[in-house]
């Protein structure tokens, strides 16, 4: 399975559109107001681990990036349910455990 990448694009209306790309497919996550720090970080795509690093690292103390990371987590959970995908490691572990008990 391909590692998911998170990336954003500017839409010309002072907004950023965030997407997750996995296995050659891109799925829209959310739109937020333009922020140059977020745009510079996500414009070329970053691994899911790197995108989530702002949520868990005290060293990377940037409230905008922490909020973006939290939004990414929420919307990834929605995408997983909506498209029956596995993106987050937690979901992968839960599904493997369910299969183990179902057998």
Overall domain count for the chain = 1
Report the predicted TM-score, pTM, of the whole model to 2 decimal places. Answer: 0.81
* Predicted confidence (pLDDT) per residue in 24-42, tens digit: 899 999 999 999 989 999 9
| Look-up of token digits 């990414």 | 72
Range of the domain at 54: 5-102
Q: What is the pLDDT of residue 15?
A: 96
């Amino acid at each position: 399975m391909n590692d998911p990448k998170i990336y954003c694009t500017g839409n010309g209306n002072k907004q950023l559109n965030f997407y997750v790309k996995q296995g050659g497919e891109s799925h829209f996550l959310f739109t937020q107001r333009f922020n140059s720090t977020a745009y510079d970080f996500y414009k070329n795509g970053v691994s899911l681990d790197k995108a989530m690093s702002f949520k868990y690292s005290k060293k990377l103390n940037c409230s905008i990036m922490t909020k973006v990371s939290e939004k990414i987590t929420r919307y990834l959970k929605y995408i997983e349910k909506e498209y029956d995908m596995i993106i987050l490691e937690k979901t992968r572990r839960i599904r493997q455990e369910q299969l183990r008990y179902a057998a």
